[in-house]
């Protein structure tokens, strides 16, 4: 089966510019996650969706970050405006309904803000 797809893989932007990341989860996976991973650190959850509903977004900096998951499939994470400190890898993951099992991660988008 196809894995989690993310695009773009790399993005370089100037500070104050907007940027968007796209994720297509594994078919049939109801739960979708966006994580932020800084260099040499573990992933940190930004937001979790159960179908279309964002059920855990407490770690999302809502002043500049937004996310959506229309129709409960693909998801987009946006930053506007980007800051230098946003440079990181943004990972998308999905899992079947319920959290007993493992999460399946995409390759990530490496964002560099200059």
Partner 1 sequence: AQSVAQPEDQVNVAEGNPLTVKCTYSVSGNPYLFWYVQYPNRGLQFLLKYITGDNLVKGSYGFEAEFNKSQTSFHLKKPSALVSDSALYFCAVRDGNAGNMLTFGGGTRLMVKP
Catalog residues that contact partner 1 under the rule CB under 8 A: 4, 31, 40-45, 48, 55-56, 91, 93, 99-108
Q: Torsion-angle region of residue 99: left (phi > 0), alpha (psi -120 to 50) or beta? A: alpha
Nearer to partner 1, 20 or 57 (CB): 57
Three-state secondary structure call for residue 50: strand
Nearest-approach distance from CB 45 to partner 1, in angstroms: 6
Q: Least CB distance from residue 93 to partner 1, whole Å?
A: 8
Nearer to partner 1, 74 or 81 (CB): 74
The distance of closest approach from Cβ of residue 5 to partner 1 in the complex, given in angstroms and rounded to an integer, is 11
In terms of CB distance, is 79 or 103 closer to partner 1?
103
Q: Least distance (Å) from partner 1 to the CB of residue 111?
A: 14
User: Between residues 56 and 68, which has the closer beta carbon with respect to partner 1?
Assistant: 56
């Amino acid at each position: 089966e196809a894995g989690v797809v993310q695009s773009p893989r790399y993005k370089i932007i100037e500070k104050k510019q907007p940027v968007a990341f796209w994720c297509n989860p594994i078919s049939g996976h109801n739960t979708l996650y966006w994580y932020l991973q800084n260099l040499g650190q573990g992933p940190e959850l930004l937001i979790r969706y159960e179908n279309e509903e964002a059920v855990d977004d407490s770690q999302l900096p809502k002043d500049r970050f937004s996310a959506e998951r229309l129709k409960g499939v693909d998801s987009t994470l946006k930053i506007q405006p980007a800051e230098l400190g946003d440079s990181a890898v943004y990972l998308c993951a999905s899992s079947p309904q319920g959290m007993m099992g493992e999460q399946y991660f995409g390759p990530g988008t490496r964002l560099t803000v200059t």
